[in-house]
Structures are given as structure tokens and as C-alpha cells.
Structure 1
Amino acid sequence: MGVEPDRSGDNVHELGDHRPARARGGEMRVTEYFNIGRSQREVDFVDVDVDSDTLSFIDPRALSAMPTPWAHNCVSRIQGYFQVILDALMDGDTRRAKYLLSTLREPNETHLGYSKGRPRGSGVGEKIAAEIYEALSASSAVRTGMLQDLEEAALFVPGIGPDRVSDLAVNIIRGQLIDFTQEACEYYEIPMVDSVPSGPVWDSRRKRWESYYTQLPLVYGTPLILVPKSIVRRKLQFDPQDYYTHHILPFLEQEELASGGSLVHLLRSGPRVYRRDLKLKYGVGKETNTRITVENPEILENYRRLKDQHPQPAMDHDWLPGGETEEEFDWDALLDKVLNTPVGKAHADIYHRNVEALLSALFYPHLTSPRREFKIHGGMKRIDIAYVNESRRGFFYWLSQHYPAPFVFIECKNYGKELKNPEFDQLVGRFSPSRGKFGIIAHRGFGDKDKILRSCRNSAYDDHGWMVVLDDNDLRALVEERIELGVSEFSLIREQFEALVN
């Protein structure tokens, strides 16, 4: 990887974006700018406003909860980078710490966070790096070795909030986000431009910053980096006010009650400590979080454990930028694209894409991060669509608690004939204990449903895996349920699955 100067704020407009600019004033989403023909519900990335910034943040904790190699790579880089900084600060290596922070800047390419306006110069980046260095070097949470992960800095370090954590994460995993952007552009047919500066990319092996030229889409002449919608949140899971209110204060309350101190009031209902008194005695804010946690590290240990057990779910589409409400979204139009696809091999790809758009909208936020033509066995086999099972409630959550289902696989068959054993065997051949053993076959409805169920039940009885088969009428039923209830309960999928195991 050759080291090149970072020119991301210079003459990028000369690199080839000839799309005419429009009058500012209204929002212009990525899907609109590139005429993708899909909405936020139908795409895998955050459909940001390309003229401004969207009040959402990348949460490193969301990455930790995703069972994918891409997410694991991101987590490894963030943890590795932050540990290198912590080591430099603990060792008093000021020069090293400042170098590690020197390239950090507001990542305008993602259009996430608090409004930053148009891309700004290197002076802003230098100021941000200096502020973060001063905040970390002055924190006793760092000096005592209590701090472990980047997101924990938001609990204890003044000046580091969700925007700074998100900006830091973007800078550290910029290379992985570029990979995601290129894959998304290829699938959604978004044009990219050659020789666009990558910006600073963290080399985890050499433990240094590098940059290179790459392919990226441009909006109004400036680079765009897309972000998976499954890893953004309105607020971070590690929240300083949540930590103080629900963990620090209850701990202090129990300490006061145990000691019988002056803050204890004897009431008819029993002894009580008022939180206003605790705040006056111990203080509020991150300094208090730090002081009490340094003295009682078990508070943070319990907090970490709780957050691991109950990860924050992905944002609903109503909260995502450009995400239409249930009342606004035209589910029938999305379904019609599937039902009106001509049957036959010549239209297999468009059927595949239409099914993916529909299921991605229906399944989110239970199933996220759809991967088309998902490669396994070193690329020798491919799965039409693979979803990450991040469900926190309902059928897919229950499934993940009782059966191996970290991923859910979809095979699309645009056949004008009934399914045969090879189609079932194909899906079963994609299963494994680590990837998961649950999948769905989408087909056009030819054949005997009872016979199809028998084939799926035989596979389940032989412990080969669990398959549900959805035809056009089944997809229509799923959409009708969504329109009627406003949420997807996946009743039909649950009933078919119960028929396999009962």
C-alpha cells in the first residue's frame, strides 16, 4: 500500500462527478441523488442527506454484536488502535500519542453526526486531535488503566461524546467502510470514480496511518462513504447519563444505606436515601463517574456484562434518515415488483433482487446486513442472500436462542415448475453449525405444498437443517400482516417452522 498525501479537501471536484447540482433547501438522499429506485427500507446503508449531516452515530458496541467477519475486523481495528493510544499515554510517550491522533478529523464523507457543514481544512482536524489528546491524557480513567474500549471513553472522559466516538470509529475503520461502500455501489449500481484519495486509513499490522487512491462515489464533487444502517444509533449504548443514573447512583445509595450515614432518612416504609442528596454529596457528571468507578471497578464490570447480555437493537426505519413511516410506505408496490416478475431463468436476477428488496424491508431490524451472492467454501459455493440475525424479540430471536441461526439464508427460485430434491439439497448444503442451519426458499408457487412440507420435514428429522418455503401467496400474506399490524410478527414463517419440529 503506497503512502500518498491526503487530498480529500482539495481538487476532488475534478475527479469526474458531472451530475448537475440542484438548488439547496430540501433534503437530497443518496437513493435520490443516484436514482437507485429504492428507499431507506430497501437498502443496506444509511440513506443520508448528501447536503447536510444526519443526527446518527456509529456505535462500536453495535459492531461487537454482529457475528460477521467484516464486523469482527472493524472491532479488532478499533480495539487495537485504542489500545496503542492507551499504551502510549500510560508510557508517557507524548510524541507517539500525538502522532496516533494527528490524522483524526471530522469525517464529512459519511454525513453522520452533528451538522459540520461542508468539508473543512486541516486546521480543524489538528484542533480535534489536540482536544482529544488533552482529554485522554488528563483522564484518571486512562491513567489508572480502567479504560479498555473506545466507547467507554464516552462514560468518563469530558469532551468525548457520541459524536467524537463515532468520528474516531469512522477514521479507524475507514478502510472497511470503503470496502462496504464499493460492494454497495456494485450491487445498487451507484457509479464510482477512480483515483479518489482514501483519507487516513489505519494499518493495524504496522500500527500506523496510511492513505491510497481508490474508487468511491462522488456527490457534488466530494467523496461519499456509505455506512451500514445496522451499526448506527441515535445515542451510544455506553451512555454517561445512563451509567450515572442507573449504576453509579444505585451503588452509592446502597453504600449509604449499609453505612447508616447522615443521608439515610428513616421513614415508615423503611430507610431511604434521596438522590438529590447523593448528587450534592458526590457530584454529577463524568468526573463523578470516573472517581466512583476507579474506587469501585465492579460497577463498570457489571455495566459491561449487562450491555453484552442486552445489546441495543438496530434503529427502526421510522428513526432512520429518509425512512418512511408505516403509513407512508407503499408495501403493495414493493410486493408487486416480486409478483409481476416474469417466471423463468431469463428473469432470475431481477426476481432475486426484487425478493431481496422486499425481504430486507420486512425483516429489518430483526435480520440485517443482507449479503447478495454470499460466498462460502472459499468461493466454491454461493448463497443468494445471507442475513445477520440480530433480532432482540419475536420469532427470529426465539429461533436464535434454540437453534443455530446466527445467519438466515435465502435461496431464490424463479422456476415455472415445482421444486425438486436438488433445490432442497442446495440450501441444506449451505448450512453449518457456525453459519446456521435455518433458511428460506422463495419460489413462484408451482407444485404441491404438502409434498414440499414433507421434503422440509425430512431434512429436519435427519438433522440436516430447517427450511421454510415461501411462494408468491406466502409473501403476500407476510405483507398483509405487516400492513394490518404495522409490525412483522412472521406468523406464517413461525407456523411453517412449527410444522417441521412438531
Structure 2
Amino acid sequence: MRISSYYELGRTQSSLEFVDVDTYKDTQLFLDPHALRWVDSEWGNQCVSLLQSFFSAVLDAIQQENHQLAQQLLASMSEPNETRLGLSKGRARGRGMGRDLAREMWEALRKSRAVSTGLLEDLEDTILFIEGIGFDIISDITTNIIRGSLIEFTQDACRYYNIPMEEDVGSGRIWNHHSRTWMHQYVSLSVTSDGPLLLVPKSIVRRSTSFEPGEYYTHYVLPVLQEEELRASSLLVQTLKNGDRKVTKKSVREKYGEGKVINLDTTIKDPSILDRYRKSKARPQLPPSHEEIASATETPMPDWESLLERVLSVPPGKDNANTYHLAIEALLSALFYPALDLPQREFNIHEGRKRIDIQYTNRATEGFFHWVRVQHETPAAFIAVECKNYGSEISNPEIDQLAMRFSPMRGQVGLLCHRGFGDKSRIIRKCRDAAQDHHGFAIALDDKDIKILVESRINGIDGIMFRHLVERFQELL
């Protein structure tokens, strides 16, 4: 049974920011440490800091020949099954780090020239060069290191969705990046009949990790070896009828073999190979799509008609403000994903003196939310959303309220969702006035606008381009 059913959340995977895993068995998705680098938020930065701190501590211990410390650091990691992610068949039971595998990893790192030469910089590098390290192990290591952050994420989600939590649940080992030591706490956590549960953002999981040794070998190492054979005019060089000389990848494979040993030997001789590979991975990556998540979790695709109807069926008025807020958030979280991700509801700013109904992290690499940030050069790291279920026309105070949430750091683009009462052209003029007074861009979206955006997804017209938002934005210029 999936989390959404187990806790009767009234939502499906598309409107949830976490992976809707089965509470009993593993879902074959994996935490990708490289994906965390593209989560441009305080939470994402915290996770990256934890990973860098731990990996540096292990490498420092090995390079300083403090092997007892290195083994202790690695052996403190458990086989995580709280996330219900991984390769286990049947009941989730964790697979990855444990005392035996920790010792094997220490041995591999201690003996590897990738460590002694300083080639390794990040956890994901190990999968390219270290035997026995696969994407499942990388995922389990990542889970251990960012467990504290995952606990915080889980607690926030539980509070929002009213998922019950038990007090004084053992946290498991938590990495402290300040002291560079492991610690243990008792925390509030959701617990199913099969044990504690850690929720994982769906934007940081993959079918496999971003760094892939076969890809590195085929597209980066082999071309270098081919070029070496050409320069040496070796027996592998073939001369074509037109006089061109070439070395086939097949012949290089037969001579050198393939695998992580060849990756390492070649990269030690020419570290620029790894630099080029890292640069190829340095471009921002979108989270997995609705289709990819649905396939991996065996959950349905978004039911756009149902999500829209839940918004449109809410009676206008103060008494139904919270119902409207919840319905809008469920719809927008599905509609704008993966361009907008990691919704934070009732997000406090200015030390709690002001509150944003919903704030999304802008992950867009195309479409409106990318265009407004890159092409229009408008700060939009986060997108604020205010929800007004008024039975009358929204006015300057509501527009000013959203504008007061803007800042150069958070962003200056937001959505003001309302029911559509009053003169639409007058509302747009008020939003334009605010924009021209340099108070940011408040895009007012009524029920009709929301319907147009949903229909564009249903009909596959523009995916996550959201051309209707471009048109509404241009009305403010």
C-alpha cells in the first residue's frame, strides 16, 4: 500500500512532492547525490554541504593514514530501509552499507590511486573508478549522510498532510558536518506497521545516478585512447580508401579491455578527461518527469480534469479559503512540475512577520519560468503564490500583499490566484502599475486562466512552456 493510501491523503503522486512509495516493499528509484546540486534552496544547499563534509572527512583520514577513523566513519552507516527505495525484493530491508560493505569500501578507497592522486572530489566520482560501488550503494550512502535533512523534510510534509508522527523515534546515525562526527537523536517521525518512514523528494531520485562508468568509458575514455593510438601510428590504425586514418572503438576495447580500472588508469594520465565529464554534468537538470515517476512507482498519471474540478467546485468566500488554498496547491504542484518544485506552504519570511501562501523552487530549464529568469533577467529563484477565494474583485491591497513578498534574493515574480469576480482588465492594470513602480510582477490568474493552463497540458500543446503565462506576463510590461 502506498503512502497516499496508507494515510488517506486524498492525493496521488503527481500532487505530492515526495515519492509515493509502497510502505512494505522497495521502489526501484535511487537518491542521486549529483541531483542535489540543482536544488537551489536552503535545504538543497544543506544536503550538498553534508555530502561534501562527510566525503572530505573520509578522504582526509585515508590520506593521513588514519585508517581506524576512516573505517569508523564508514562503518557508522547502516543499511537504510526507512526510505523504501532500492533493489530489495519483497519486504523493504535495505541494501548497501553495513559493516562488511563499509570495510570493503574502505579497502577499495585505501588502495585506489584515485584517492592517493587526489582525483576524487565528490561522492559521485567513486562510481567511475572504484570497484564494487554501484548506484545502489551511492544511494544508500547518500541516504545515510543526509538523513538529518530527510527527517526535517519528512516532518514538514507530515505536518502539512496531517500524517501522524510518533515521539522519541530513534533517528539512526545523523552526520554533523560541523563536528564531522556521527550523532544520534530521538525525533518525531512517521511510523508504519513496517517501521519508521523517511519521505524523499521526488526531484532528487533517479533510475540510476547521473555519473555512470559505462558512459564515462565509452564517450570520454575511449576517444582519448583512440587518439593515442593514432598519434603513435600503432597497429590499430586503419587507412581508408580516401587516405583518412582511423582507430575503431572495437579495436581499442580489445586491446585495453574495459571497466573501472581502465577508467582510472587513463584518467590518472590525463585528468582533463574527468574535468570534461564533470562539465558535461554541470548543466542544470530537470527532475524526473511525471511519466518517469509514474512508471517507476506504478502510479497513475495526473488526472487533470479532477484536479481542475476540485478548484472550480470550491464555493467562493472566506469560509472556504483553506479548501481553495489546498485545491490550488494540489493543482499547481502537478501542473508546474518539474519546472517548479518543492512547494513550501505558508512559508514565513521576515522572521515570521509575513507569510507566503505557497513558495516554489524554480527548477525550470525551459518554458516560461526559465524565460522570465534568464531571458527577461527578472529575479525568480522562487515563485510565490497567493490564494484569494474572494467572492468579489481583488484590489490593490491583495496585489500589494504579494508584492511585499518579493525580494531580489527570493524573486520578483508571483502568481495571485483568485476566482475571477470583477473587471479583469482593471485587475491587470493594477498589476501593471505595481510592476512599473518596480514592485515586482504579480500575475493574476482567475479560474478561466487556470483552466486554459490545464487544457494546454491535457492537449499536449506546450508541455511546461506555459505560453499563456508569457502572454499574461507581457501584459504587465
Same fold by TM-score, threshold 0.5 exceeded? yes
**Per-residue CA shift, 1:117-165, capped at 9, x if unaligned?**
5466999821221222122222211121110001111111111111111
Q: Secondary structure at the match of 2:351?
A: helix
- Compute the displacement of 1:255 (Å): 3.1
Q: Secondary structure at the match of 1:211?
A: strand
Size of the aligned set, in residue pairs, is: 471
Maintained 8 Å contact 2:97/2:137: no
Distance 2:352 2:241 in 1: 71
- In structure 2, the residue matched to 1:351 is 324
Maintained 8 Å contact 1:46/1:227: yes
- In structure 2, the residue matched to 1:168 is 141
Q: Secondary structure at the match of 1:432?
A: coil
Letter of the 1:401 partner, please give it.
V
- In structure 2, the residue matched to 1:373 is 346
Matched, 1:281 2:255: yes
- Compute the displacement of 1:462 (Å): 2.9
- Compute the displacement of 1:485 (Å): 1.2
- Compute the displacement of 1:472 (Å): 0.7
Letter of the 1:443 partner, please give it.
H
Distance 2:60 2:323 in 1: 52
Distance 1:382 1:121 in 2: 39
Q: Secondary structure at the match of 2:179?
A: coil
Maintained 8 Å contact 2:357/2:385: yes
Query: What RMSD in Å do the two structures reach over aligned CA positions?
Result: 1.9
Maintained 8 Å contact 1:108/1:116: no
- In structure 2, the residue matched to 1:485 is 460
Describe the shift of the 1:476–1:120 C-alpha distance in structure 2 as closer, same or farther (beyond 3 A). Answer: closer
Q: Secondary structure at the match of 1:158?
A: coil
- In structure 2, the residue matched to 1:14 is none
1:243-282 matches, within 5 Å, as: 243-268=216-241, 270-282=244-256
Match of 1:296 among 270, 273, 279: 270
Q: Which moved more, 1:261-270 or 1:298-307?
A: 261-270
Letter of the 1:499 partner, please give it.
E
- Compute the displacement of 1:175 (Å): 0.7
- In structure 2, the residue matched to 1:149 is 122
**Per-residue CA shift, 1:89-111, capped at 9, x if unaligned?**
11111100011011212210001
Maintained 8 Å contact 2:22/2:84: yes
- In structure 1, the residue matched to 2:439 is 464
Q: Secondary structure at the match of 1:46?
A: coil
Q: Which moved more, 1:121-130 or 1:424-433?
A: 121-130
- Compute the displacement of 1:469 (Å): 1.1
**Per-residue CA shift, 1:455-475, capped at 9, x if unaligned?**
222233233222211111111
Give percent identity, aligned residues only. 48
- In structure 2, the residue matched to 1:382 is 355
Distance 2:76 2:144 in 1: 8
1:321-340 matches, within 5 Å, as: 321-322=296-297, 324=299, 326=301, 329-340=302-313
- Compute the displacement of 1:397 (Å): 2.2
**Per-residue CA shift, 1:177-213, capped at 9, x if unaligned?**
0010000000011111111110111111222111111
Q: Secondary structure at the match of 2:405?
A: coil
Match of 1:437 among 409, 412, 416: 412
Distance 1:234 1:204 in 2: 28
Distance 2:284 2:34 in 1: 8
Matched, 1:33 2:6: yes
- In structure 2, the residue matched to 1:315 is 288
Q: Secondary structure at the match of 2:397?
A: helix
Instruction: Give the alignment's TM-score, normalised by structure 2.
Output: 0.95
- Compute the displacement of 1:396 (Å): 1.9
- Compute the displacement of 1:75 (Å): 0.5
Instruction: Give the alignment's TM-score, normalised by structure 1.
Output: 0.90
Distance 1:463 1:288 in 2: 57
Distance 2:207 2:138 in 1: 13
Q: Secondary structure at the match of 2:306?
A: helix
Q: Which runs of 5+ in 1 are unaligned?
A: 1-27
Matched, 1:217 2:190: yes
- In structure 1, the residue matched to 2:473 is 497
**Per-residue CA shift, 1:240-266, capped at 9, x if unaligned?**
111111111222223333443332222
Match of 1:46 among 19, 22, 25: 19
Q: Which moved more, 1:245-254 or 1:332-341?
A: 245-254
- Compute the displacement of 1:333 (Å): 1.2
Letter of the 1:493 partner, please give it.
L
- In structure 1, the residue matched to 2:204 is 231
Match of 1:91 among 60, 64, 68: 64
Q: Secondary structure at the match of 2:384?
A: strand
Distance 1:122 1:461 in 2: 56
Maintained 8 Å contact 1:105/1:128: no
- In structure 2, the residue matched to 1:60 is 33
Letter of the 2:290 partner, please give it.
H
Distance 2:298 2:159 in 1: 22
Q: Secondary structure at the match of 2:198?
A: coil
Letter of the 2:20 partner, please give it.
D
- In structure 1, the residue matched to 2:157 is 184
4+ residue segments displaced more than 6 Å: 121-124
Q: Which runs of 5+ in 2 are unaligned?
A: none
Distance 1:108 1:175 in 2: 15
Distance 2:290 2:181 in 1: 37
